[in-house]
C-alpha cells in the first residue's frame, strides 16, 4: 500500500507572484483590500500558502513586474520567509514596441530589444538562484498577408538560439506554447510540436512547458505529456483550469479527472507551477485550494496498480485498464493528504485554518 503522506513530500509546487496581485478581465480590474503592494508582500503571501500546505516552497517571478533595485535583498527576503525563487518569466508582451511581436517582429531593432531583456533575465535568475527561464511569447499575426510566416519562425529560432547560448549550466529554457491570443490569425509558437521543434534546435536544456489552458477543446493533453516525457523534452507545467479558453481558473475546479490523468503520465518530478488569474476570489485562499487539488490529484495517481494496469494493457483488456484508473481516481485521499500537511507543519484543512487565522483581514489593515 502506498504511503501517500510520505510520498507527498516529493511534490514541489511553485506558486506565481502574479497570482497574488489584483487582476480582472479586459473590461476592468477588481481590487482587493489585502492585495500586496510589491513583490516583497507577494512573497509574504506565498509563504503563507507554503506554510499551510507544505508543498509550495518556491515562487515564480515575472520581470519587470517584480523588478527591484536590489536583487540580493529580494533573494534574502525570500529565504527569510522560507521560500526559494522558481522560474524567471520575462515579459515580452506589454511594451508598446511589441505591437507586432517581440522575437518574431520584422524590425531587427525590436528583436534586439527583446533579446536584451531575455539576457537581462538570465542574469536576474543567476543572482536570485533560479534554475529556469520560462518563456511565453504573444507573438503572431492578425491578418493573412501581415507577415511571412516561415520568416517569423526563423526569427524566433534565431533569437532563442542567442538566448540559449548565454544560459549558464545551471539554467534551463522552458518554452510555452499557446493556440491563440492575443494574435488571432497565426501564433508563432501555437502548439507543442512547434515548441518541440524549436527546443530540439537549441539543445538538451531546452524543454517544452505545457499550460493546461492553451489547447483546443478535446485535445488529449495527457498524450502530449506522455510523448514529450518519452522524448525527454517535458520541462514542466503551468497548472490552471478552464471552461472555454485560457480562463486561468483554480486548478482542478472544472475538470479534476483530466488533472488526475496528467499525473498518471508523469514518471518523475517536473517543474510544477500554478498559473492563474484570481479575479473575484480571495487570492491566498484560491492559491491554497489549487495546491490542495494538486496534492489530491497526485495522491490518486500514486494509488494506480501499475502492474495490474500493464497486464490489462498487454492482454488488450480495454475495460479492465479503464477500471484500474477509475479505482484510483475514486479513492478518497483527503485524510492522508491532511496527514501530510500536518506532518509538514501545515494545516489538515488549510482553507479553514487560513480563515480562522484572520490573515486576509490583517493584511488588509497592514496594506492600506
Residue 210, domain CATH: 3.20.20.150
Q: Is residue 307 part of a domain?
A: no
Q: Is residue 259 part of a domain?
A: yes
Q: Is residue 317 part of a domain?
A: no
Averaged pLDDT, 251-267: 94
Total number of domains constituting the chain: 1
Which stretches of the chain are DSSP H helices? 4-7, 39-53, 71-80, 108-128, 149-166, 192-202, 221-230, 256-264, 283-302, 306-314, 318-329, 334-343, 350-357, 359-366
Are the C-beta atoms of residues 258 and 221 closer than 8 Å to each other? Answer: yes
Q: For the segment 62-94, what is each residue's pLDDT rounded down to a tens digit?
A: 999 999 999 999 999 999 999 999 999 999 999
pLDDT at 167 over 70: yes
- Residue 139 pLDDT: 98
Q: What is the pTM of this model?
A: 0.96
- Residue 1 pLDDT: 56
Q: For the segment 323-342, what is each residue's pLDDT rounded down to a tens digit?
A: 999 999 999 999 999 999 99
Residue appearing with cell numbers 529565504: 79
Q: Is residue 314 part of a domain?
A: no
Nearest by Cα to 330 from 289, 297, 295, 360: 297
Residues 6+ apart with CB under 8 A from 57: 12, 50, 82, 83, 84
Domain span at 229: 4-302+333-363
Q: Is residue 98 part of a domain?
A: yes
Buried b (16+ CB within 10 A) or exposed e, 330-356: ebebeebbbbbbeebebbeebbebbee
Q: Is residue 328 part of a domain?
A: no
Average pLDDT, the chain: 96
Query: Band of the pLDDT at 267, cuts 50, 70, 90?
Result: low
C-alpha cell at 253: 475546479
Angle in degrees, 0-180, between the axes of helices 71-80 and 108-128, rounded to the nearest 10: 40
Q: Is residue 100 part of a domain?
A: yes
Averaged pLDDT, 286-304: 97
Q: % helix / strand / coil in the chain, to the nearest 5?
A: 50, 15, 35
- 3-class secondary-structure state, position 269: coil
Q: Is residue 323 part of a domain?
A: no
Query: Band of the pLDDT at 297, cuts 50, 70, 90?
Result: very high
Amino acid at each position: 500500500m502506498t504511503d501517500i503522506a510520505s510520498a507527498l513530500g516529493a511534490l514541489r509546487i511553485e506558486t506565481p507572484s502574479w497570482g497574488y496581485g489584483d487582476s480582472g478581465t479586459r473590461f476592468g480590474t477588481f481590487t482587493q483590500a489585502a492585495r500586496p503592494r510589491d513583490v516583497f508582500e507577494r512573497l509574504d503571501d506565498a509563504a503563507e500558502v507554503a506554510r499551510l500546505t507544505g508543498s509550495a516552497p518556491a515562487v515564480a517571478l515575472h520581470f519587470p513586474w517584480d523588478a527591484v533595485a536590489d536583487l540580493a535583498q529580494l533573494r534574502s527576503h525570500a529565504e527569510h520567509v522560507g521560500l526559494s525563487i522558481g522560474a524567471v518569466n520575462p515579459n515580452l508582451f506589454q511594451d508598446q514596441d511589441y505591437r507586432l511581436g517581440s522575437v518574431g517582429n520584422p524590425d531587427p531593432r525590436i528583436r534586439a530589444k527583446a533579446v536584451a531583456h531575455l539576457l537581462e533575465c538570465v542574469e536576474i535568475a543567476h543572482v536570485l538562484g533560479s534554475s529556469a527561464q520560462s518563456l511565453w511569447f504573444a507573438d503572431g499575426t492578425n491578418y493573412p498577408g501581415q507577415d511571412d510566416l516561415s520568416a517569423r519562425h526563423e526569427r524566433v529560432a534565431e533569437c532563442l538560439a542567442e538566448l540559449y547560448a548565454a544560459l549558464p549550466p545551471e539554467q534551463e529554457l522552458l518554452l510555452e506554447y499557446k493556440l491563440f491570443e492575443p494574435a488571432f490569425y497565426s501564433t508563432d509558437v501555437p502548439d507543442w510540436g512547434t515548441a518541440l521543434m524549436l527546443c530540439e534546435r537549441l539543445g538538451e536544456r531546452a524543454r517544452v512547458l505545457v499550460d493546461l489552458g492553451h489547447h483546443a477543446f478535446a485535445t488529449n493533453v495527457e498524450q502530449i505529456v506522455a510523448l514529450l516525457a518519452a522524448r525527454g523534452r517535458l520541462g514542466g507545467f503551468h497548472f490552471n483550469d478552464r471552461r472555454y479558453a485560457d480562463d486561468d481558473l483554480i486548478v482542478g475546479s472544472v475538470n479534476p479527472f483530466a488533472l488526475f490523468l496528467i499525473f498518471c503520465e508523469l514518471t518523475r518530478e517536473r517543474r510544477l507551477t500554478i498559473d492563474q488569474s484570481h479575479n473575484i476570489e480571495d487570492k491566498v485562499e484560491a492559491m491554497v485550494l489549487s495546491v490542495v487539488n494538486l496534492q489530491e490529484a497526485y495522491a490518486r495517481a500514486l494509488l494506480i496498480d501499475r502492474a495490474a494496469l500493464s497486464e490489462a494493457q498487454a492482454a488488450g483488456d480495454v475495460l479492465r485498464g479503464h477500471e484500474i484508473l477509475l479505482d484510483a481516481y475514486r479513492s478518497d485521499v483527503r485524510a492522508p493528504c491532511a496527514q501530510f500537511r500536518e506532518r509538514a507543519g501545515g494545516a489538515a484543512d488549510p482553507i479553514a485554518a487560513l480563515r480562522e487565522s484572520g490573515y486576509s483581514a490583517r493584511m488588509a489593515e497592514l496594506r492600506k
